[in-house]
Structure 1
Amino acid sequence: MNDAHLHLVVNHFPIIGTFFGIAILITGILLKNNSIKNTSYVLFIVAAIFGAFSMGTGEGAEEVVEDFPNIGKAIIHEHEELAEKFALLLYATGVFALISVVAAVKKFRLAKIFSIITLVLALISGIMSINVGTSGGEIRHTEIRKNNAAAVPVNENPSLEKEYQNEDE
């Protein structure tokens, strides 16, 4: 398993975990159920941990793919910049989730406020994760790029066509 593969393995959970966490937290708030809210807090904490793993594997993934055809340093740099901002939001969400779970368990008066702060941070993280996920997908999936004219079809590039034929054998 190379660094790019490892990055792909860990980078999906921060996004998916955030969205599941948001849905579960909203459900917990509406049902006024601390167990459900605590489940969402744990998801946010785990998403933040996986976000750290994803950030840690990003540089190695960049080294693997930066010289591939149809992948430029600019698109990787854009993804990296978005990922850094998303990671900070994710870490903040994880910290507030940790504070929220402690406040809920200890039955602090401010537990409800911490829930709302966690939800707001998670919603912002969720919105940011869409951009990060899309920019990451655009690195190898040229078909989803805004301007995919730069993507060269395999049959128009003989060296790529040969490479794909060799994979089929």
Structure 2
Amino acid sequence: MNDAHLHLLVNHFPIIGTIFGFLVLLGGLYFKSTSIKNTAYLLFIIATTFTVFSMVTGEGAEKMVEDLPEIGHKIIHNHEETAEKFAILMYLLGCASVIGLISNITHHSKALFFAYSILVIAIVAVIVSVKVGTTGGEIRHTEIRNDMISTKINTEASSTIFDKD
């Protein structure tokens, strides 16, 4: 197994884990359940752990695909920049989740404040996770690139014009 393969194996967990954790945390706040909130915190901590693995394997994956046709350095650089922002958010979310978990276990008076703070961080992380997932997908899935859609439309329009003759 190489770094590109490993990266593809682990890079979905931070995104999916963050989305699930966010939904579970919403449920925990709605039902006022400490157990459900703790489950969300654990999901965030696990997602953060996989973020570390994704970042570690990302550089090796980049080296394997950067010179392939139709990829280019710009697409990879865009994904890398977005992934770095996402990683920072995830590290913050993971650390805050540890604090939230400890505050729930110790019945700290600020546990609810931590829950809402973590929710805010999770909302931002979910938004950025969509962007990082899309930019990562654009590396090999040319069909989801904006420039490919406009190129295809222009090509189809041109061929339609020339086919009428």
TM-score of the two chains, using structure 2 as the length reference: 0.90
Q: Report the secondary structure of 1:99's partner residue.
A: helix
User: 2:39 and 2:27 mapped to 1: Cα distance?
Assistant: 11
Residue in structure 1 matched with residue 63 of structure 2 by the alignment:
63
Quick check: 1:34 aligned with 2:39? no
Quick check: 1:2 aligned with 2:6? no
Residue in structure 2 matched with residue 166 of structure 1 by the alignment:
none
Residue in structure 1 matched with residue 156 of structure 2 by the alignment:
none
Could you list the per-position Cα deviations for residues 41-85 of structure 1 after superposition, in whole angstroms to 9, with x for gaps in the alignment? 000001011001100000000011011110100100000000000
Amino acid corresponding to residue 89 of structure 2 in structure 1: L
Q: Write out the 4+ residue segments of structure 1 that deviate beyond 4 Å after TM superposition.
A: 149-152
Residue in structure 1 matched with residue 78 of structure 2 by the alignment:
78
User: 1:150 and 1:6 mapped to 2: Cα distance?
Assistant: 32
Cα contact 1:7–1:57 (8 A) shared by 2? yes
Matched length? 152
Amino acid corresponding to residue 53 of structure 2 in structure 1: F
Residue in structure 2 matched with residue 22 of structure 1 by the alignment:
22
User: RMSD in angstroms over aligned alpha carbons?
Assistant: 1.4
Structure 1 unaligned residues grouped into runs of 5+: 153-169
TM-score of the two chains, using structure 1 as the length reference: 0.88
Q: Report the secondary structure of 1:108's partner residue.
A: coil
Cα contact 1:142–1:148 (8 A) shared by 2? yes
- Matching of residues 93-104 of structure 1 within 5 Å: 93-104=93-104
- Matching of residues 86-165 of structure 1 within 5 Å: 86-148=86-148
Cα contact 1:142–1:151 (8 A) shared by 2? no
User: How many angstroms does 1:2 deviate by?
Assistant: 1.1
Could you list the per-position Cα deviations for residues 124-153 of structure 1 after superposition, in whole angstroms to 9, with x for gaps in the alignment? 00000000000000000000000116989x
Q: Report the secondary structure of 2:146's partner residue.
A: coil
